[in-house]
Chains A and B, each alone.
Chain A
């Protein structure tokens, strides 16, 4: 059982979250080529060790988080908001 330190809710059990996939993937523009989209949708590294990934706090604050997790030990070294907010200009 992994504990994920949600920046909004604090330490929460992973059962409150759903896994959101590789957070290092940069999705291309909507009008980019099929090949670019193919790379983004299908090609994944499968690292042994540190992995940057999305987790959605679906049973909590609904934040999408960027989590650094070790795929070997499940150790989580950081969790931050995927969206930094709009700042003062909002």
Chain B
């Protein structure tokens, strides 16, 4: 052992043949495969690895597990910088770069330590009080703000996008075992021997749990693991079960690699559906609150034992171990064996025999850590029978380890709403009973003896097997019980009349004084106390200080711990990255991309695409590389109105409605009649919701007596389909109607403009296109490019127009044929921008007016409602409020000044003074080439009847300011519809 290394010459589960170089705060160090970042730092004698959150006191490694409150580091740089990494859980890898947090300029020399001296300002509720200006806080705030701002919070995440890949996976199994310690591996073995499909999830990067902390641990862990693997158990390493959910579903995060290459994923989220869950999550050692118990050099006794045996590290030469239970003796023995000088303080007067060479001081407790930056000694005290402490002496030491008893990890059952139960006898919370197929075993169930843990694991697995109807032996489950030398309930060491800075939650700098302050200020419920003091919040999730905090609150209120209760544990057990939750659903995979059958064709014709819901649709088709969207849509609408244009309308919802009662069904759905619609005709229909508000519109075509093709808006296609199914399956089971979505099966191309008939005549066979044979709203079959098509003479643009529907697979040849006839006539392709512009000119309503608030009357469609029949929404549409004279109704809008543009989203005001939400709003605008100025649609109180010809103010304070507009009829062009009928 060299002077700069505390690594022992032999032992441990590390590969000494290989060296890994890594960095901490810019300095280079070496470790070995098998090391955690924390063990590698300890091996290099790096004592200070972080700074406290509020007081900036130096912090060292405090544990060897998930409960770490000191060695919380930032790992990685640039886009890969990850803050708040528990160094104890981070496997070392070559090239790892790590940084201390909460410190400037460095953890070793941190200016913020001034907070520690000024700490009377920073107690529980500090922020609340400061902001409310009590205690002259404002002045203090000014003084400390800069330092506190720099210090507040933990590490900082990268602001760059996370370059790593993640994914989500699903699996199921018979039994999921959480944890691979003695209990978990025994459970997995027993379950696998019963023939069950078993998965073991272990959060650590080495299997074996508590086995690994023992002197002969490596060997025993390897044996136990070999056994489960030979039985075909799936073992998942570095996989944390972060939550249990309804229906026996477990959420797991697997850390696949820290140095992924190519498309390799960094982390994988697993959604596991086991039939039985066995929780073998073990227990976490509790600290004892005493003065300066956060000094670097003071750590948990179990953690120290892990460093000794698993990592072959002796972090000090002269050590004091303070314990309230038997587990401190094992650590003392192992530490002594490593050659250190060891004094063991046992708070109890009776305990096991002293380990060889270890001086045991019984009835003695730690009072105060000594030394400014690193531990130099421990003041110890004598505990009287009545519980009072008197200072006895100081012992010089560079290492202290503390065991205040054990807390079973009850988080996962708590996720299921099962409250942990305080056991006075065991001095810990035990998991509550659940009726779900969840069994808890080992130390998680309050068993401290290794053999009992194994037995309880096997018993839980056998029980799980029998619950699944599989033969398994009956094994009696050991119950938690008090031994001859039980744990002493000691949470805090106080000195009468002396103030000690004793930390309950070092991660959040919560002291015993903060708990008492919270009580004094009335925050007596543990849930309130937690939020007021921040005890056990954020990345800690109640692992370290919870029990002490609750016990101190119980002492302050005079109630027993069992009546004081505990905070609710919620997923995740420890923090998980958001990237892992998002999985592959990022960037272009965030949501599905729906492409029309003409997508490639559109792009071949230079379409600029835009997303409408999930659909990608042509926005406009620039004829030069620099043509702007405004220039393009004006050109497209002009050409379409003057000659002819083609538009891909494939995204419209299309639903086949078939059966003897199809006509009756449509009659009930639409406000207007469909029962008597002639075969070969289409009709525009509007449907309402149950509450009388307009839901959707579209044309529905009668193809034969019992076959209708309904079209819906693009946006509501899925919703309308679900509604039709609901009505048929739940409300009107007597109707013999079948519905099928055919949106993807048919491509649709609108052929619009005065020359649309010429285009079709050039390419269509087997169809008479004359106005007499094929009038407005007619539906005909025909053939284009050898493909069967439906032709519908319907018009959204207001021009003479047709829609051609063709099987999706035949869309391209038909589009080619239509374009082949359109181009020579000077026609164009047009996109959604021109489509929307032309509908505004016609005053047709669309999504921005069908906003879930408008009635038929509001939209000027009141006359469509049939008085001869009942339909969905009719009854509630009669409600008084839906006929109020002040309702916002559809109007047309034009600017009063020449050349002024309008803005969709602007509010309409009665005069220049803005009043609340005004009288209405502009819903859609366009420049009208034919009219030579901007036009808009909008909704305004009282509608055309109240406003026709009057002026209003279009208020758009964040863009153009105020514009004077005139309210007119929404039908700007060809109000009688002569063009489309001709």
User: Footprint of B on A, CB under 8 Å?
Assistant: 1-3, 14, 18, 20, 23, 27-34, 36-38, 40-41, 54, 56, 58, 62-64, 74, 81-84, 86, 90
Contact = CB atoms under 8 A, between A and B. Distances in A.
A56 to B, nearest CB: 6
B871 A37 contact: no
B878 interface: yes
Interface stretch (B639-647, B676-684, B724-732): B724-732
Interface on chain A toward B: helix, strand, loop, or mixed SS?
loop
B957 interface: no
Interface in B160-176: none
Contact of B725 (A3, A32, A64): A64
Given A56-B726, A74-B247, A84 B733 contact: yes
Contact of B247 (A1, A37, A90): A1
A87 B664 CA distance: 21
B853 interface: no
Nearest to A32: B875
Interface string B235-274: 0000000000111010000000000000000000001010
A90 B736 contact: yes
Given A2-B246, A86-B736, A90-B736, A30 B872 contact: yes
Interface of B: 245-247, 249, 271, 273, 668, 690-691, 722, 725-726, 728-731, 733, 736, 870-872, 874-876, 878-879
Contacts of A20: 726, 730
B865 to A, nearest CB: 13
Contacts of A81: 729
B271 A34 contact: no
10 contacts: A27-B690, A28-B875, A30-B668, A30-B872, A30-B875, A31-B874, A34-B875, A56-B725, A64-B730, A74-B246
Contacts of B249: 1
Contacts of B731: 27
A83 B247 contact: no
Given A2-B246, A14-B247, A86-B736, 17 more contacts: A1-B246, A1-B271, A1-B273, A3-B273, A18-B722, A27-B690, A28-B875, A29-B870, A30-B871, A32-B875, A34-B875, A56-B725, A58-B722, A64-B725, A64-B726, A82-B730, A83-B733
A83 B729 CA distance: 5
Given A37-B875, A63-B729, A64-B729, A56 B722 contact: yes
A61 B876 CA distance: 32
A37 B876 contact: yes
Contacts of B722: 18, 56, 58
Contact of A83 (B730, B870, B871, B878): B730
A38 B730 contact: no
B691 A41 contact: yes
Contacts of B879: 34, 38
A29 B731 CA distance: 10
Contacts of B726: 20, 54, 56, 64
A34 B876 CA distance: 5
Contacts of B874: 30-31
A40 B731 CA distance: 12
A74 B436 CA distance: 12
Contacts of A1: 245-247, 249, 271, 273
Given A33-B875, A84-B733, A62 B247 contact: no
Leading 3 A-B pairs by shortest Cβ distance:
A30-B870, A31-B870, A64-B729
Nearest to B741: A62
Contacts of B878: 34
Given A18-B722, A64-B725, A90-B736, A41 B245 contact: no
Contacts of A40: 690
A42 B690 CA distance: 10
A2 B245 CA distance: 9
Contact of A36 (B247, B733, B875): B875
Nearest to B251: A1
Contact of A38 (B668, B725, B728, B876): B876
Contacts of A33: 875
A27 to B, nearest CB: 5
B690 A37 contact: yes
A64 to B, nearest CB: 4
Nearest to A63: B729
A23 B875 CA distance: 21
Nearest to B170: A13
A26 to B, nearest CB: 9
A90 B875 CA distance: 32
Contacts of A56: 722, 725-726
B728 A83 contact: yes
A86 B729 CA distance: 11
Contacts of B736: 86, 90
B858 to A, nearest CB: 18
Contacts of B729: 63-64, 81-83
Interface centre among B246, B690, B729, B874 (most CB of A within 10 A): B729
Nearest to B435: A73
B584 to A, nearest CB: 16
A53 to B, nearest CB: 11
B959 to A, nearest CB: 38
Nearest to A20: B726
Contacts of B872: 30
Contacts of A38: 876, 879
B725 A2 contact: no
A18 to B, nearest CB: 7
Interface centre among A1, A14, A40 (most CB of B within 10 A): A1
A20 B733 CA distance: 16
A33 B730 CA distance: 21
Interface centre among B271, B736, B875 (most CB of A within 10 A): B875
A13 B879 CA distance: 40
Nearest to A31: B870
B471 to A, nearest CB: 25
A2 to B, nearest CB: 5
A63 B668 CA distance: 21
A56 B874 CA distance: 25
Interface centre among B247, B668, B736, B879 (most CB of A within 10 A): B247
B609 to A, nearest CB: 27
Contacts of A84: 733
Nearest to A15: B271
Nearest to A14: B247
A20 B731 CA distance: 12
A41 B731 CA distance: 13
Nearest to A40: B690
Nearest to B271: A1
